Copies of this chain bind each other. A is one copy, B any other.
Amino acid sequence: MAISINRRAFSSLIASALIVPIRAAVHANQSDQPSAHDMSNTPEEWTGKERIYMLAYPGMTALDLVGPQYMFASLMGAEVKVIAKDSKPIVSDTGLTIMPDATFNELPEQITLIFAPGGTTGTLNAMRDAETIAFLKMAGARAEYVTSVCTGSMLLAKAGLLEGYKATSHWLTHPALENFGAIPTEGRVVIDRNRITGAGVSAGLDFGLSLVGKFRDQNYAESVQLLCEYAPEPPYNSGSQETAKPEQVHMLQSMLGGFVDLMKAEA
C-alpha cells in the first residue's frame, strides 16, 4: 500500500476509498488537475512540488532505490522519476528489471533532489562510466539535495560531490569514502548541509522516511510510516558489524574486499 505519487493518483485513491465527493465542486477550481474527487480533507500544506530524480543503472541494487521511492512517492504533489542513461530496461543485481521514466538529457534545470542507489560490480562500472559521472556532477549542481543509499555514495564521491562532507555508505565501503575526500561518518542516515547519505540497502527506508519528515512534517511522515507498517522485526540480529558474528563479517569482507579495493582505486 502506498499513498500515490501525485495529486491525480491520490485523488483516484480517495475515490477508490469511496469518500463522498461532497465538496468536490467547491474545490474544483483550486486544482490544476482534472478531478471530481474530494481533496477537501487534505491540508493544503501537505501538497508540495518537489522534483525528485532517482538514478538507475545496470547492476544497481533495486531495493536501494525502491525503499526510498516508496517514501518519496508518498509526498503528495511531488514528481518522482527514475532517470537513466538511455530508455532501455535496467536489470538490477538481483535480476529485477526496471524501466526508467527519463533519460539524462531530460533532467530539468532545477530539481529538488538527486538520488543514487548502490550495488557492487554495477556500481563500480557506473563509477567508471564518464557519462554517468558527468550526469551526477550536473545533477548535483542543479539539485537542492544530493543523496544516496548504500554504495551509491561512492558514485557521489567519484563525481566529487562529497569532498569535505560527512557521509555514510554500505559498511564495507564506508572506509573508502575517505579516499575521495569525504568524511566517513557513522549513522543510518548522515546529513551534512545538503548532502544526505544512507547506510546499506535496507537503510533506504529510514533514509526515505527521514526525508518525508523533512519535506513535510512529523505528522505526515508518521502517517506514511503507519501506512507502510514500518515497525520492523528482523528475525535475526546480525544487521551490523557490531551484532553479526565475526566470521560472518570476515566472510563478506573476504568475498567483497577486492571489490572495495577496486572502488578505492577510482579515487
Q: A203-B229, A228-B63 are in contact. Are A98 and B97 (CB under 8 A)?
A: yes
**Structural contact, A229 and B199, CB atoms closer than 8 A:** yes
Q: Which of A136-144, A158-166, A238-246 contacts B (4 or more CB under 8 A)?
A: A238-246
* A201 CB contacts on chain B under 8 angstroms: 1-2, 70, 227-230
Residues in B with CB closer than 8 Å to A16 are 120-121, 124, 258-259, 262
A101 on the B face (CB < 8 A): yes
A117 to chain B: closest CB distance in Å?
10
Query: CB distance B223 to A1 under 8 Å?
Result: no
Count of interface residues, chain A, beta-carbon cutoff 8 Å: 93
Q: Are A63 and B61 in contact (CB under 8 A)?
A: no
Give 1 or 0 for each of A206-239: 1 = CB within 8 Å of chain B CB.
1001100100001101110111111111111011
Task: Among B151, B235, B239, B248, point to the contact of A210 (Cβ < 8 A).
Answer: B235
For A256, the chain B residues whose CB sits under 8 A away are: 1, 13, 17
Copies per assembly: 2
Taken together as a complex, chains A and B put the C-alpha atoms of A219 and B98 apart, in Å, by 31
Contact with B along A72-116 (1 / 0, CB 8 A): 011000001010000001001111111101000000000000000
Question: Which chain B residues lie closer than 8 Å to A156 at the CB level?
Answer: none
Taking CB atoms and an 8 Å cut-off, the chain A residues in 28-68 that contact chain B are 41, 61-63, 66-67
The answer to the question of A26 belonging to the interface, with a C-beta cut-off of 8 Å to chain B, is: no
A172 within 8 A of B: yes
A41-B254, A202-B232, A225-B236 known, 15 other contacts, Cβ within 8 Å: A1-B151, A5-B95, A9-B93, A16-B259, A16-B262, A73-B95, A73-B96, A80-B94, A189-B233, A201-B227, A202-B228, A206-B235, A223-B251, A226-B239, A226-B249
Q: How far is the CA of A47 from the CA of B19 in the complex (A)?
A: 51
| A-B contacts, 19 listed (Cβ < 8 Å) | A1-B170, A2-B93, A2-B120, A9-B95, A13-B120, A13-B255, A16-B121, A16-B258, A67-B67, A70-B94, A74-B94, A89-B99, A96-B98, A97-B101, A201-B227, A201-B228, A218-B236, A226-B241, A231-B240
